[in-house]
Structure 1
Amino acid sequence: MAELYDEQPTVVLGPVSRGSLLGALTAVALGVGFVELRKDAEPAVDSDRWVRRTSGPDYRDRQTVFGYRRDLVRAGDRVLMVDDWVDTGATALTARALVAECGARWIGAACIVDGLTEPRLRHELPVRALLDVRRI
């Protein structure tokens, strides 16, 4: 997954659940940090500062609140999101907004399967994948 981009991230972001597994494995392979992008995230204690955003509609037309502890992504970090599948791009768009809010730089979204329904997002995010549903 990490070889899909030329730029080396400092942090890999993985949405729960399969993105957490793939993201953690990618982070270990690269020797960089890993942050789990949680759904319906709530701070564990009052002192935790979190960044959170609501996504646009996903493939089931649901909106989800995603977030992570603010101190895990810092200004100057280069962030790569890793997930199993991208369909509407809602998760990646939300993750990119969270990364920008932290002052970090978004590299892109690496996934196993590109099933994007909105082709412009492939370039805008950018999305890179091992498989593309348009070619299967």
Structure 2
Amino acid sequence: MPDNRQIQDYIRPIVDFPKEGIVFRDVTTLFASPRGFRMAVDQLLHPYAGTRFDKVVGLEARGFILGGAVAHQLSAGFVPIRKKGKLPAATIAESYTLEYGEAVVEIHDDAIAPGERVLLVDDLLATGGTAEAGIKLVERLGGEIIGCAFLVDLPDLGGRARLEGLGMDVHALCAYAGD
């Protein structure tokens, strides 16, 4: 019997997590499925077929899982963008606003060379704050963001519009309105 599941069929909804009224989209069930994970990586790459990338940047933490697999498929290098204080060598930092305060992400200061073509990857696009901070870090190092790829878009939170307002090409495999 053929398996006709789509990406969203592999993503488990968790109601009232991390707090009441939130439906958390758990992508670990997609990662646990060989078929689902393969499909996700292939579909993240699809719009960029024939495009040369030097690096794939993954946002902490689930963006590391996806970004590493995507970088492998592209024969590109992988660069993690991490929470402040987690990278061992010299870094540059970018702060961004959260609903409850401010956070900081960092990248090694030698991770992207000027002119390198970069694909930014993460599991979820919500408000776009983390992704925008990642874009700014790459651009400060002289890299060129060619695209931003996500498994899930929560369009009601405005992240896609925010990134597109920065001139970014945004690709998401599925969207959940009202979450």
Is the shorter-chain TM-score for this pair beyond 0.5, marking a shared fold? yes
Range that drifts further, 2-11 or 34-43: 2-11
Q: Distance in 1 between matches of 2:67 and 2:149?
A: 9
Q: Which runs of 5+ in 2 are unaligned?
A: 1-43
TM-score (norm 1): 0.85
Q: Which runs of 5+ in 1 are unaligned?
A: none
TM-score (norm 2): 0.66
Question: Would you say how many aligned residue pairs link Structure 1 and Structure 2?
Answer: 131
Matches of 1:132 and 1:75, distance apart in 2: 33
> 1:34 maps to what in 2?
78
Q: What's the CA shift string for 1:5-38, capped at 9, x where partnerless?
A: 3533210000111100100000001100000110
Aligned to 1:25: 69
CA distance in 1, matches of 2:100, 2:53: 31
- The alignment-based identity, stated in percent, is 29
Kindly report which structure 2 residues correspond to 1:7-22, keeping only aligned pairs within 5 A, or say none: 7-22=51-66
**What does residue 83 of structure 1 align with?**
122
Task: Give the match's secondary structure for 1:71.
Answer: coil
Cα offset, 1:61, TM superposition:
3.3
Aligned counterparts of 1:29 and 1:11: Cα–Cα separation in 2: 12
* C-alpha distance in 1 between matches for 2:52 and 2:122: 17
> Within the alignment, does 1:54 sit opposite 2:98 as a pair?
no
Q: CA RMSD in A?
A: 2.1
Computing the radius of gyration from Cα coordinates, the structure with the larger value is 2
**Following the alignment from structure 1 to structure 2, what is the Cα–Cα distance between the partners of residues 37 and 31?**
19
Distance between the aligned counterparts of 1:76 and 1:3, measured in 2?
Answer: 23
Preserved CA contact (<8 Å) 1:41 1:65: no
Higher relative contact order (CA 8 A, sep 6+): 1
Partner AA of 2:46 in structure 1 = E
* Structure 1 residue 108 corresponds to structure 2 residue 158: no
SS of equivalent residue, structure 1 residue 128: strand
What amino acid does structure 2 have at the position aligned with 1:97? K
